[in-house]
Chain A
Amino acid sequence: MIITIQKPDEEINKMIEGRDRIFIIGCGTCATECQTGGEEQVKDLKNKLESLGKKVTGQLIVESVCDQRLTRRDLRRNKETVNDSNAIMVLSCGTATQTVSEISKKITIPCCDTEFIGTTERIGKFYERCRACGECILYDTGGICPIARCGKTLLNGPCGGQAKGKCEVGGWEKECAWIQIYERLRDEGRLDLFKKYRPPKDHSEMASQREVIFR
């Protein structure tokens, strides 16, 4: 899931300065789970805007804003109110905001900061797990991603900074991913994989806007 948090009010207030007719879009998938762009957050924003004397021209929750098909359909259904607005506020991830911006051609205001691709322990406890590196090595690393979880993104850890299994980065509070990888591979009887040298990644694939096109 894409983990988002809400931007602080001050930052949002600056972006809506001088814009008095606003359309609000929330997202039914990740942002709902993060409680950053679900029903309740859309309603709260509406109330806040109205108390600031702004007109909310309309609001809607797209099932998944990042899916252009759904967003295009929903925007078309709300064509009049969308056209009547001088800004659209998006309560979802950066991909969602760009999707709305591309389709609507309206000034689009991101209301969330996109944090990471993560796992949900429960609402309010989210942890980063993947950096979308394009070449998954989880089989070799006991199902623990060193790119997302090692403070130095090392492919051949641990570094000299680990202490009692904790990571130097952030002051020895979080787990050292490489000690976790070691323990997991040890328990699985696969320490040969731990000891194996992993050459540096080929970053050329990540060099420009990545695309997946198979049809």
Chain B
Amino acid sequence: MIREAFSELTKAIRAGTFVYTGEIEPLKTTSLEETLETAKILKGHVIAANITDNPTAFAYMNSLIPSYFIQKEIGLEAVYQVTVRDRNRLAITADLLAASALGIKNVLALSGDHTTVGDDPGTKPVYDLDSTALVDLLRKMVDDGTDIKGNKIDQPPKFNFGIAGNPNADPLDPEILKIERKIELGADFMQTQAVYDVDLMKEFVKQVSRLKVPVIVGIAPFKSRGMMDWMVKNVPGIVVPEDIQKSLLAAREKSKEAFLDENLKIFGDLIKEIRNTPNVSGLHIMTIGFEWIVPKLIEKANQ
């Protein structure tokens, strides 16, 4: 059974449009101002924006609230990210019911970075469900109209839901098998972690193509030299090819502007490669803190 397309994102993917999605990070604040400003910048350039759920285990504003407001105030569709790190199946089910009541149409099921990497490492992690079980919960809610235990839901939610995939995964085989496990449970789409290496990206897309799931490939340009160094040093799962690092460093030696221009060139080319790769449905651009680069990037890639 193919699930109905409830969201604009899923409708566009199914219509064969190459989709762009962005990402917004709510912060440790009670103000929605920045979130809405960011949504405004992204609107018109991306079809939907992911709202992160306590990213890297920092307690930020509950992602449901900005998800609702960017849809209502800005008219930008949200991909409501839900991690299984902070809530048990009871709380997640409750939040998903609320999300549907608020008009959320896309959910992304995630494990979430471990609490020990967060800003209060002593926090008790939950992991009552894992991200695969969350996909199972979503499927049951949407397709069967029940919670994960089988208890009936009155007016079940209408979501399309996605999973994450990691093209940088080394070894790759268990990652592919895990993705397959989730696809068999009924995920509608996949968004990937940031890729920098075209060959890795192509190999990954090739391997998942047999699973027939729309793949939205992630990219994360570098806001600054500091961010690049941090990623290379602290995120062992991410492979940034030497030549990319070198050309960016050389540009930074010249000026900040040159660094950004080089970003545009490198990531513009990368976007072109991704767009020309068979079986890629779209691009997920992660640019926390410098969203203004998104329109420029897409423009560059279109040249």
Contacts of A182 in B (CB 8 A): 171, 173-174, 177
Q: Which residues of B contact A163 (CB under 8 A)?
A: 168, 170, 236-237
Minimal beta-carbon separation of A188 from chain B (angstroms):
15
* B127 contacts across to A, CB distance below 8 A: 152-154
The answer, among A158, A162, A197, for a CB contact under 8 Å with B184, is A197
Instruction: State whether A200 touches B133 (Cβ < 8 A).
Output: yes
Interface with A: B34-42, B108-116, B246-254, B269-277, which one? B108-116
Interface centre among A156, A165, A195, A196, by most chain B C-beta atoms within 10 angstroms, is: A156
Contact A164 B133 (CB under 8 A): no
Contact flag A155-B166 (CB < 8 Å), given A163-B236, A164-B236, A197-B136 = no
Contacts of A152 in B (CB 8 A): 85, 111, 114, 125, 127, 130
Interchain nearest-CB distance for A141 vs B (Å): 13
Interface of A is mostly: loop
Nearest A-chain residue to B116, judged by Cβ: A169
Q: Are B164 and A160 in contact (CB under 8 A)?
A: yes
How many B residues, CB 8 Å from partner?
35
B169 touches A200 (CB 8 A): no
* B181 adjacent to A160 (CB under 8 Å): no
Chain A residues in 8 Å Cβ range of B125 = 152
Contacts of A196 in B (CB 8 A): 181
Please tell me if A106 contacts chain B, counting CB pairs below 8 Å: no
In the complex, A170→B116 CA distance in Å? 7
Beta-carbon contact of A160 and B173 below 8 Å: no
Residues of A within 8 A of B280 (CB): none
| A172 and B178 contacting across the interface, CB-CB below 8 Å | no
Of listed A155, A170, A197, residue having the most chain B CB within 10 A: A197
List B residues at the A interface (Cβ < 8 Å).
Answer: 85, 89, 111, 113-114, 116-117, 125, 127-133, 136, 148, 164, 166, 168-171, 173-175, 177-178, 180-181, 184-185, 193, 236-237
B170 contacts A159, C-beta separation under 8 Å = no
Closest CB in chain A relative to B266 CB, distance in Å: 23
In the complex, A43 has a CB within 8 A of chain B: no
For the complex, is A178 an interface residue (Cβ under 8 Å from B)?
Answer: yes
Is A5 part of the contact surface with B, judged by Cβ < 8 Å? Answer: no
List A residues 11-49 near B (Cβ within 8 Å): none
Residues of A with C-beta under 8 A to B166: 160
Bound-state Cα–Cα, A26 to B127, Å: 37
Can you report 9 residue pairs joining A to B where beta carbons are below 8 Å apart?
Answer: A151-B116, A154-B130, A156-B132, A158-B175, A158-B178, A160-B164, A160-B166, A191-B177, A203-B128
CB distance from B223 to the nearest CB of A (A): 22
Which residues of chain B are near A166, meaning CB under 8 Å? 236
| A162-207 interface with B by 8 A CB criterion | 162-166, 168-170, 172, 178-179, 182, 186, 191, 194-197, 199-200, 203
By a CB distance below 8 angstroms, the chain A residues around B237 are 160-163, 168
Q: Which residues of chain A in 107-134 are interfacial with respect to chain B, using CB atoms and an 8 Å cutoff? A: none
Residue numbers in B under 8 Å from A199 (CB-CB): 133, 136, 148
Residues of A within 8 A of B85 (CB): 152
Q: How far is the CA of A182 from the CA of B171 in the complex (A)?
A: 10
3 closest cross-chain pairs (CB), A and B: A156-B132, A163-B236, A182-B174
Q: A162 vs B168: C-alpha distance in the bound complex, in angstroms? A: 10
CA distance A210 to B237 in the complex (A): 40
| Interface pair B185/A195, CB less than 8 Å apart | no
Instruction: Please judge, given known A-B contacts A152-B125, A152-B127, whether A178 and B132 are in contact too, CB under 8 Å.
Output: no
Contacts of B193 in A (CB 8 A): 160
Inter-chain contacts of A151 with B (CB < 8 A): 114, 116
Bound: A164/B237 CA distance, A: 8
A7 CB to closest chain B CB (Å) equals 19
**A157 and B130 contact, CB distance less than 8 A:** yes
A199 to B181, CA, bound (A): 12
B137 (CB) vs chain A CBs: closest residue: A200
In the complex, the answer to whether B173 meets A197 with C-beta atoms within 8 Å is: no
Docked CA distance A22–B94 (Å): 54
The answer to whether B174 touches A156, judged by C-beta atoms less than 8 angstroms apart, is: no
A169 touches B114 (CB 8 A): yes
Given contacts A152-B125, A152-B127, contact A158 B174 (CB under 8 A): yes
